[in-house]
Chains A and B, each alone.
Chain A
Amino acid sequence: MKMIRASIIGFGSVGQGAAQVFLQKKKEIQKKGFDLKVVAVADSRSAAIDEKGLDLEMVLNSKKENGRVGSETLSGLEIIRNVEHEVVIETTPTDIETGGVGLENMLTAFEKGMDVVTSNKGPLALKYGELAEAAQKNNAKFRFEATVGGAMPAINLIRDTIAGNSIISIEGILNGTCNYILTRMMEEHASYEQMLAESQELGIAETDPTYDVEGIDAACKLVILANYVFDMKATYHDVDVKGITSITPEALALAQSEGYVIKQIGEVKDGLIQTSPRLVPESHPLAVGGTLNVISVQTDLAGTVTSTGRGAGSIETASAILSDLISIYRED
């Protein structure tokens, strides 16, 4: 059986989720015709390297117990440059200002002809064109299902399942935190501030929620879709963004009396990318509640195709990473 050697660069919630899923799904991966061996793991201050394959259980324990993945001090970038392997699983945190270390990690991997599977939105929202070109030039695979809506099929749905269709437009809910807050505001007739506090307590919203509630996270995902599906060469700065912070419980009640819910909806159509609170008929497929994400793709042949699923969470996001790996290396 062919052996695929991987590194996990970035060992926060998503990186750890990936390690757990690889341990749990060893047999399923083999059934797809290959063996996956993680030869290096790096977080922001430590690394673990073993060319024979790391014991991921030990790495996870070490991270849990002393906050480090191992005793090495090599950076992710040094691992990509110096440790022999086929695929870089890039799960460093999203940096929307510069693309962060993720951008350099991905470009370096491509230069070396390595494949990249990533959950990191920043580099794609800023420099998708450059990354896609680098991958193509070096004959490397570039997969990023996890960047748009976690476990909800989006990119791969469009690339594989409805391949051959022309895509007319895409609409959807691409941020679970906003969806949770709006859903709860309506259920409890409570203020935005109150439900933000609740979602922070539950770990659904970050301590600094700006990125989610101002629509920035959804905007990044829309840009990735716009570039991948419509070849728009857009960056995050091209998105017309309105967040949910000024939505009132009264507005939700008024909407409800007209048969609508208010949802933070992202849209790509006719060269325009926007995300804003919108009225969605209560019975419409986009009217999903809680932290769910949903995407509706309007096509020429299949009509409208809607996909929904969990947009965040460490195991859910790792599920998208696993499916990307399988789609690259499967032999069944």
Chain B
Amino acid sequence: MRVSMDIELKDTPGQLLCALTPISELRGNLKSIVHHHEERTPRGTIPVQLVFEAEPDNLDAIIEKLEENGIGISRVDEERLIEEGAVILIGHIVHTDIQDTIDSIDRTGYAEVVDISLSMPHINTTSSASLKICAVGIKELHEAISILKDVAEKKDLLVVEPIRAEFS
């Protein structure tokens, strides 16, 4: 998952290292760091904004380590589902239990259907739908689409998925 965090550093040498070491030690992947050196908080500390990716299970340990190192944490935002992909479904989408089709993704725990648009032009003709799927990572997004394809095959639905280049 992706974590965005505001921290506060004392204005002494080596503070930034104290903040970043716990993240890298717990296999976090730093995406962005903004160091507001010219600003000061009312407490006289320097505000720093971090964005990193980490395993959800490691976040508590990272926070604990930062606090041990004397780093102030003023805000933590988690964004669990960071990868998004669209697919199109064509076939008798509703009559083949649309709830079950969506559940097959939601059940994974690592991906969710977050949006669906359905177009049913006439009774007895095939419907089309666009599904937006969010997942915790790119690998999981691929897996979710692959599960959807298996379910769709059994229900005689066509899945139109993005080209590979979309994911790289």
Chain A residues within 8 Å of B, Cβ to Cβ: 169, 171, 242, 246-248, 250-251, 253-255, 257-258, 260, 262, 265, 267, 269, 276-281, 284, 286, 296, 304
Residues on A with beta carbons closer than 8 Å to the beta carbon of B82 = none
Given A247-B90, A257-B117, A260-B86 in contact, is the A265-B163 Cβ separation under 8 Å?
yes
Q: Are A279 and B166 in contact (CB under 8 A)?
A: yes
B29 within 8 A of partner (CB): no
Q: Are B164 and A248 in contact (CB under 8 A)?
A: no
Q: Closest CB of chain A to B122's CB: distance in Å?
A: 10
Partner of B161, one of A251, A253, A278: A278
Q: Are B164 and A171 in contact (CB under 8 A)?
A: yes
* Residue among B121, B128, B129, B160 having the largest count of chain A Cβ atoms under 10 Å: B160
B91 within 8 A of partner (CB): yes
Q: Are B119 and A254 in contact (CB under 8 A)?
A: yes
Q: Are B128 and A250 in contact (CB under 8 A)?
A: yes
B123 within 8 A of partner (CB): no
Residues on A with beta carbons closer than 8 Å to the beta carbon of B34 = none
- Closest residue to A247 on the B side, CB-wise? B90
Chain B residues within 8 Å of A, Cβ to Cβ: 86-88, 90-91, 117, 119, 121, 126-130, 132, 158, 160-166
Residues on B with beta carbons closer than 8 Å to the beta carbon of A251 = 88, 90, 119, 128, 160
Residues on A with beta carbons closer than 8 Å to the beta carbon of B164 = 169, 171, 267, 269
Q: Closest CB of chain B to A114's CB: distance in Å?
A: 41
- Closest residue to B85 on the A side, CB-wise? A279
Q: Are A250 and B119 in contact (CB under 8 A)?
A: yes
Residues on B with beta carbons closer than 8 Å to the beta carbon of A267 = 163-164
Given A254-B130, A258-B130 in contact, is the A277-B160 Cβ separation under 8 Å?
yes
Given A250-B127, A251-B88, A254-B130 in contact, is the A242-B158 Cβ separation under 8 Å?
yes
Partner of A281, one of B88, B119, B128, B166: B166
- Closest residue to B160 on the A side, CB-wise? A277
- Closest residue to A281 on the B side, CB-wise? B166
Given A250-B128, A278-B163 in contact, is the A255-B158 Cβ separation under 8 Å?
no
Q: Closest CB of chain A to B89's CB: distance in Å?
A: 8
Given A169-B164, A278-B163 in contact, is the A253-B90 Cβ separation under 8 Å?
no
